[in-house]
A and B are shown apart, each in its own frame.
Chain A
Amino acid sequence: MPRTGNRTLSSLGYAVLALLVVVGCAQPDGPVWNLNPHPVKGRVMYDGKPAEGVLVGLIPIDAPMPPAIPANPTAITGPDGTFTIGTVSPGDGACVGRYQIVLNWMVSKEDESDEENKIDKLLGWYDAAHSPLNFTVVEGENTVTEIKIPPRTILPEQMPGIPGRN
């Protein structure tokens, strides 16, 4: 009888150990984002033609910003110049609030170097310091007015600063 008791005890111990292992491994890998993004769509045209491969970013002005969100909402334009913004996963939208729209069009630079070297084809006209584009995300479907970019060949002027943003 005592032997059986011991065995019961030890098997109980194994069961507890197994439970601990299972519970210990059941933790999710990353943080869970409890956000409520709304769909945001739009289109980018450069010199009258659809711009493909432009990184469209929404920098929060009056909206949730990192670390409340994993990263700023972004999207990359398709062959027809259209984009669908995503915050946590591609295309899931952006949280309600006001944003500055920034555009980076990184293209390979022709130079002596044999390494990949990319520059912004928009020459910084639509980076965080210069972009005049704003957009307010509201509940429900959002569509950004078509962004029309004239050809850019010279650099924008240096800005004195972005108040409250540094």
Chain B
Amino acid sequence: MSHRSPRRAFTLVELLVVIAIIGTLVGLLLPAVQAAREAARRSQCTNNLKQIGLGLHNFAGAKRFFPPAAASTTTTSAQQLELCKRLGVTVKGQRHGWGVMLLPYMEETNLFGKYDFKSDWSSAANQEVRESIVPAFLCPTVSREGGGLTTKTVSGASINIGPGDYAPDNGYDTVLETKGLVDACPNRNGVMDVNVLRQVAEITDGTSTTLLISEDACRPNAWRGKKQTLVMGQTDGGWCDPDNEYVTHGYTTDGLTVNGPCHTNCTNNNEVYSLHAGMANHVFADGSVRFISADQDIRVFVKLITYAGGDLAPATE
């Protein structure tokens, strides 16, 4: 017998067993690899926010106040026009976002040099800067094919804007108080508001329990729950867009009805939103970057938004 077949081959059963073992091992390994990749992206996201936090504190160190969410000279208030002058916005009828003001404080001086504060953010003079993609303003968990530029109509003209996943969450909806979802508070405002130059000393609720910048990821596309529902459905997210600031309204868990108990990861329609599981990252006014769980009670979450609400929020881990 051995003379007739000198080469011993694997039987079908042996092959099947080997393939099954390899398959099981790969099956075990793949989810772990995917989880490790997401952990790395989340870590990069935290790092980007840390850079923004450092930039905000560099800004505050140089100018004695945090940047506003936007400088808008479309107002008639003489006091607000004066504040805009301190930021170099002297021409009336213009708007500029916080992202641009932060550029020189986060190693983007070249880009800042190309920006013209004498022309509106949406003007042709600022097109190059506006269409630039600044990695520090993007969360790597969000996949963007082809750059993900936002297309939106401003003053009748269609413009393109580099995307951004981070923006100031600077208040909450008064209806949440009316419905009893959150406690009544004398001042619902956050630190970074439009035409407001807030100093560190004004944050009487404590810098370690007050938010500066929060994730509102995946814009310009609309996401409800964990699904994308509309391409170009949320076009206020560009990193240099003066409209990218927002307030927390609270939504139902499906992300469809406003003034519900969900504050994080239910919709990116001007709410805190990230693709990380069960949480979103935030820059706090002390410069630290920490996550807040989506399970956190909205009653506590809004206390972290207010800078002088006269309330005590427990420190997050």
> How many positions in chain A have a CB within 8 Å of any CB in the partner chain?
30
Contact of A71 among B181, B235, B243 (CB under 8 A): B181
A162 touches B184 (CB 8 A): yes
Residues of chain B lying within 8 A (CB to CB) of residue A137: none
A162 touches B234 (CB 8 A): no
Least distance between B241 CB and chain A CB atoms (Å): 9
B11 close to chain A: CB less than 8 A: no
Contact of A104 among B155, B174, B186, B270 (CB under 8 A): B174
B154 close to chain A: CB less than 8 A: yes
Counting residue pairs across A and B whose Cβ atoms lie within 8 Å, the total is 78
Q: Interface code B176-217, partner A: CB below 8 Å = 1, 0 otherwise?
A: 011111011111000000000000000000000000000000
CB-CB under 8 A for A166 and B175, given A114-B153, A115-B234 = no
Q: Interface code B268-283, partner A: CB below 8 Å = 1, 0 otherwise?
A: 0110000000000000
B152 close to chain A: CB less than 8 A: yes
Least distance between B43 CB and chain A CB atoms (Å): 31
Residues of chain B lying within 8 A (CB to CB) of residue A59: 177-178, 180, 184
Stretch at the interface among A9-17, A39-47, A123-131, A143-151: A123-131
**Closest residue of chain B to A102, judged by CB?**
B178
B310 close to chain A: CB less than 8 A: yes
A92 close to chain B: CB less than 8 A: no
Q: Which of B160-182 contact A (CB under 8 A)?
A: 174-175, 177-181
Residues of chain B lying within 8 A (CB to CB) of residue A29: none
Q: Interface code B254-268, partner A: CB below 8 Å = 1, 0 otherwise?
A: 000000000000000
Residues of chain A lying within 8 A (CB to CB) of residue B179: 57, 71-72, 74
B186 touches A159 (CB 8 A): yes
A160 close to chain B: CB less than 8 A: yes
CB-CB under 8 A for A165 and B184, given A113-B236, A115-B234, A115-B270 = yes
**Closest residue of chain A to B155, judged by CB?**
A112
**Closest residue of chain B to A111, judged by CB?**
B243
Residues of chain A lying within 8 A (CB to CB) of residue B310: 161, 166
A52 close to chain B: CB less than 8 A: no
A89 close to chain B: CB less than 8 A: no
B286 close to chain A: CB less than 8 A: no
Task: Please name 17 pairs of A and B residues whose Cβ atoms are closer than 8 Å in the assembled complex, sorted by A.
Answer: A59-B184, A65-B180, A66-B180, A66-B181, A71-B180, A74-B178, A111-B243, A112-B95, A114-B235, A115-B243, A128-B178, A129-B184, A129-B186, A162-B184, A162-B185, A166-B186, A166-B309
| Extra contacts besides A112-B95, A128-B184, A129-B185 (12): CB < 8 Å | A55-B175, A57-B179, A65-B180, A102-B174, A104-B175, A104-B178, A113-B243, A114-B152, A128-B185, A165-B183, A166-B186, A166-B310
Q: Chain B interface (Cβ within 8 Å of chain A)?
A: 95, 152-155, 174-175, 177-181, 183-187, 234-236, 243, 269-270, 309-311
Q: Chain A interface (Cβ within 8 Å of chain B)?
A: 55, 57, 59-60, 65-66, 69, 71-72, 74, 102, 104, 106, 111-115, 120, 124, 127-129, 158-162, 165-166
